[in-house]
Amino acid sequence: MDPLTQGLLGASFGQALCGRALGRRALVWGGLVGMTPDLDVAMNATGPMGEWLHHRGASHSLWFGPVVGPLVGWLLWRLHGRRDPLAAWIGLAVVALFTHPLLDVFTSYGTMLLAPFSDRRFAWDAVAIVDPAYSLVLVAALGLGLAWGPASGRARIVAAAGLALTTAYLGYGLVLNHRAEDLARRQLAAEGVTAAEVRAYPTLLQVYLRRVVVRRGDELRVGWLSLWRPAPLEWHRFADARHPLAAAARATEEGRILEWFAMGQTAAALVPSASGTVVEIDDLRYGFPSRPQAGLWGIRVRFDPDGRIEGRPQRVDRPLPAPAPVLLGQLWRGTFGLAP
């Protein structure tokens, strides 16, 4: 999830587990340490593919907290004059680093929990990368804890309650996603569509509206389903191009990276140009109802009239299809059916 929410998570664990021993410093350093795995965004500077290749990599692996956390805790203990229990600082650092990837894996982006031993990406599609409901519960728990005093028993209890509630919320998101996929499969079965791959993905800011992607051979369908007010999906249908040029684009280094990053959820389209043909491949996990076939990002590969690649394939970050307030209104209406 977003770095601020990761900081809130680390601070909440600090308040719940180490508030008595470390006071306010448990919240401050729990929050700061909890955000540090996202410093891997510095690798974005290595090139257009840097974010896809390196973000949520080794710093988000399950071993990172248990191995690096004790060193971070020891350094913090030294920084604060060795006055506090070393175990409290080590425990704070280990938990803050370990829970960061555990939260990220509930989103759709993909987290390499086993890096560098495996580049497999894990994504449980429960919540969006920005979810105010999740974040605000932690803000409330931390605010009450600060008002009562971080070392107080009430502060630890309210922090633990906030963590329990947000964990249940993640589980609720998983249930909703499975329900969305089940409803989509039932609708497809009623239409006589069988043997289709169905995947649902959370959309921004809430847990109820899901983007559903259906793949059956070269045929693709994309629709949106609100679990707040379920209704039959209206499908946008298109084809995943299986042209030799699309295969050549996918075989490029950039194409292989995108396919791995998107965990196979891509679609290719051929666009004629004045100098040949352009192949665009999109990540279908993310997108807006007004532009269902296009993702938020992808790659573009140019071919000359003889089918040879011109230049290097380019990463494409698509602009928003409408101003942010308009898009937020669309998401609100798509979720709740009410005027925002």
The string of pLDDT tens digits covering residues 60-78 is: 999 999 999 999 999 999 9
Query: Residue 42, exposed/middle/buried by CB under 10 A (0-12, 13-18, 19+)?
Result: exposed
pTM to 2 decimals?
A: 0.94
**pLDDT, average across residues 265-281:** 94
pLDDT at 339: 53
The answer to whether 12 and 99 are in contact (CB under 8 A) is no
Q: How far apart are CA 234 and CA 231, in angstroms?
A: 9
pLDDT at 338: 67
Q: What are phi and psi of 267, to 5 degrees?
A: -140, 135
The string of pLDDT tens digits covering residues 206-239 is: 999 999 999 999 999 999 999 999 999 999 999 9
Query: Which pairs with CB-CB distance under 8 Å and at least 24 residues apart come from 143-148?
Result: 145/15, 145/19, 145/27, 146/24, 146/27
**pLDDT, average across residues 83-101:** 97
N- to C-terminal Cα separation, the chain: 25
Supply the DSSP symbol for 291.
B
Count other C-beta atoms under 10 Å from residue 86's C-beta. Answer: 14
The answer to whether 316 and 298 are in contact (CB under 8 A) is yes
Grouping H, G, I as helix, E, B as strand and the rest as coil, residue 41 is helix
The answer to whether 177 and 202 are in contact (CB under 8 A) is yes
Structure tokens at 201: 């993905």
Task: Name the nearest CA neighbour of 12 among 25, 24, 32, 27.
Answer: 27
Query: Residue 111, exposed/middle/buried by CB under 10 A (0-12, 13-18, 19+)?
Result: buried
Q: How far apart are CA 93 and CA 19, in angstroms?
A: 13
**Taking 90 as the threshold, does the pLDDT of residue 330 lie above it?**
no
pLDDT band of residue 291 (cuts 50, 70, 90) is: confident
Query: Residue 323, exposed/middle/buried by CB under 10 A (0-12, 13-18, 19+)?
Result: exposed
Q: How many residues does the chain have?
A: 340
| DSSP letter for each residue of 75-132 | HHHHHTTT-S-HHHHHHHHHHHHHHHHHHHTTSSS-B-TTTTT----B----S-S--H
Structure tokens at 24: 């306010």
pLDDT at 253: 97
Task: Name the nearest CA neighbour of 70 among 92, 43, 101, 103.
Answer: 92
**pLDDT, average across residues 173-199:** 96
**Taking 90 as the threshold, does the pLDDT of residue 257 lie above it?**
yes
For 121, how many CA atoms within 13 A lie in the half-sphere containing its CB? 23
Peptide bond into 116 cis (omega under 30): yes
**Taking 60 as the threshold, does the pLDDT of residue 340 lie above it?**
no
Whole-number average pLDDT of the chain:
95
pLDDT at 21: 95
**Taking 90 as the threshold, does the pLDDT of residue 274 lie above it?**
no
The string of pLDDT tens digits covering residues 44-55 is: 989 999 999 999
